[in-house]
Amino acid sequence: MDLSKSLATGLIIAASFLGGCASNHAQEQAQSQSQNSRTNAAVVDTSDPRDPLEPVNREIWDFNWDVLDAYILRPITVTYVTVMPQPARTGLVNITDNLQEPANFLNNMFQGKVDDGLDSLARFLINTTVGLVGTFDVASKIGIERKREQFGETLAVWGLDTGPFLMLPFLGPSDLRSFTGDYVDGFAFPMSLLEGSVNFARIGISVLETRAQLLDQEAQLEQSVDDYAFVKNAYFENLEFRVTDGKSGDKALDEEQLDDFADFEAMLEGNDFDSYEEPSEELDDEAADDATKLNDAPVESDEKPQDTKEAGKSKDGN
């Protein structure tokens, strides 16, 4: 755990240094905003209460996205995805996931989820032995699904708030509660036994696979009005989804679907006339023949009674 402790210490020192620089920048910005229009003042008033360190976090986000990701992380990730075969990637991910199963077991137990905790313990024993140190996810194939729980989520269940939002150098979005939880999870067996290059490889694989999953979402991020706010909101929504085991996310999704359905229904109601107008103008030959037959039908019905009356008159005449 020497590398993890050194990494955590380095992050704290970096955050403190950037915090001092950002505080001076914030003072200069406050003085300039006092001389600007009321519009700028309104922007300051709408700051996110979850993000009291926003000036610092935005500087770190710009550094992470414009420098680290653009010139280091993304090129390495693209090369990793291109060169590494999918079976090998799956095996590496399975190994890193298997190392976290004991922590999942403890956190499930701490949250009162005994069955899920036993599943996590069973997954670790099965995948470590039969699955060749976790290379193959045998437990999932026999119906024992992964029940991931982190100590930060355990703290949330115990009633602890997230604390301030943190944009960490190299590591990306986090919060004080989750950052503390990740540090505590690092002491769980067997991750506490990982040292040096092995632990660095585990972290590297997790970072690369996480970045690889975001390659398809880059366009959505680039099209957002405020990329920093987009990432922050997505982070908190995902965090709430994990803490509540998907319950809050399902509720929010249902409400969003209802709103979308209402808009879609209103759109259909507004286009009903047009939807019926177009087919009548572009009838094919068969539809035209059918329409002709329908138009001729009333004429035939009028002629038949006349024929009947004429036949009756002829009978009377005879």
On the question of pLDDT at 25 being above 70, the answer is no
Per DSSP, the three-state class of 172 is strand
What percent of the chain shows pLDDT beyond 70?
63
Q: Which residues contact 76 (CB under 8 A, 6 or more apart)?
A: 208
* pLDDT of res. 7: 41
- How many angstroms separate the CA atoms of 266 and 147, rounded? 41
Q: Which residue has the higher pLDDT, 299 or 80?
A: 80
3-class DSSP state for residue 202? Answer: helix
| Tens digit of each residue's pLDDT (9 = 90 or more) over 26-36 | 444 444 444 44
Extract the tokens encoding 126: 């099965």
Rounded to 5 degrees, what angle do the CA atoms 205, 207, 210 make? 105
Q: For residues 154 and 111, is the Cβ–Cβ distance under 8 A?
A: yes
Say what the pLDDT of residue 132 is: 95
Ranking 9-13, 189-193, 212-216 by mean pLDDT, the lowest is: 9-13
Compute and round to an integer the Cα radius of gyration of the chain: 33
Q: What residue segments make up the domains of the chain, in order of their start?
A: 2-83+150-245, 283-317
223-281 pLDDT, tens digit each: 889 999 999 999 999 999 999 988 865 454 445 544 554 454 454 444 444 444 444 44
User: Residue 112, by phi and psi: left (phi above 0), alpha (psi -120 to 50) or beta?
Assistant: left
Residue pair 4/183 in contact by the 8 Å Cβ criterion: yes
Q: Assess contact for 108 and 185: CB atoms under 8 A.
A: no
Tell whether omega for the bond before 164 is within 30 degrees of 0, i.e. cis: no
- How far, in Å, are 59, 80, 120, 133, 194 from residue 89 at the CA level? 33, 9, 22, 15, 20
Answer yes or no: are the C-beta atoms of 202 and 140 closer than 8 Å.
no
For the segment 144-151, the average pLDDT, to the nearest whole number, is 96
Q: Kind and range of the H or E element at 44?
A: helix 38-45
Cα distances from 128 to residues 45, 89, 99, 136, in angstroms, run 53, 18, 9, 9
Buried b (16+ CB within 10 A) or exposed e, 144-174: bebbbbbbbbbbbbeeeebebbbbbebbbbb
Mean pLDDT of 285-301: 52
